[in-house]
Amino acid sequence: MPERRLFTTDAIVLSRFDYGEADRVLSLLTPGHGKIKVIAKGIRRPTSRLGGSLEPLAELRVALVRGRTFDVVTQVAIVHAWLRLRDSLEATATAWYVAELADRSLEERHPAEPLYALVRRTYELLDAGLAPARAARWYEMRLADELGQRPEVDRCVECDRLVEPEERVRWIPGLGGIVCPRHAGPGHDEAGLSTGALRVLKAYQRMDVEAIAGLRLPPEVEREVEAAMRSFLAYALEREPRSRRFLDEVRATEAARPRFDVTEGTTTDDRRRDERGETGDGASPG
Ligand SMILES: [Zn+2]
Query: Could you tell me if 12 and 113 lie in one domain?
Result: yes
The reply to whether 24 and 48 lie within a common domain is: yes
Residue 249 domain flag = no
Domains: count for the chain: 2
Question: Do both 10 and 122 map to the same domain?
Answer: yes
In CATH, what number is assigned to the domain containing residue 31? 2.40.50.140
Amino acid at the residue 16: R
- Residues 116 and 209 both lie in one domain: no
What is the structure's pLDDT at 111? 86
Ligand 1 center–CA 221 separation, angstroms: 23
Same domain, 123 and 10: yes
Instruction: Give 163 Cα–ligand 1 centroid separation in angstroms.
Output: 8
Rounded to whole angstroms, the maximal C-alpha distance in the chain is: 73
Q: Which of 80, 98, 127 is the last residue of a domain?
A: 127
Q: pTM for the whole thing?
A: 0.80
Question: In this structure, are 233 and 150 located in the same domain?
Answer: yes
Output the CA 157–ligand 1 centroid distance in Å: 7
Q: Are residues 118 and 167 in the same domain?
A: no
Q: Tell me if 266 is assigned to some domain.
A: no
Taking only the tens place, the pLDDT of each residue in 17-63 is 999 999 999 999 999 999 999 999 999 999 998 888 999 999 999 99
189 Cα: distance to centroid of ligand 1 (angstroms): 15
Q: Measured in angstroms, how far is the CA atom of residue 153 from the centroid of ligand 1?
A: 12
**Distance (Å) from CA 143 to ligand 1 centroid:** 26
Q: Indicate if 12 and 34 belong to the same structural domain.
A: yes
Question: Within this chain, do residues 163 and 202 fall inside the same structural domain, yes or no?
Answer: yes
Domain ranges, residue 121 = 6-127
> How does pLDDT run across 218-256, given as a tens digit for each residue?
999 999 999 999 999 988 887 544 434 443 454 466 556
Same domain, 100 and 175: no
Q: Is 267 part of a structural domain of the chain?
A: no
Q: 1 lies in a domain?
A: no
Confirm whether 257 is domain-assigned.
no
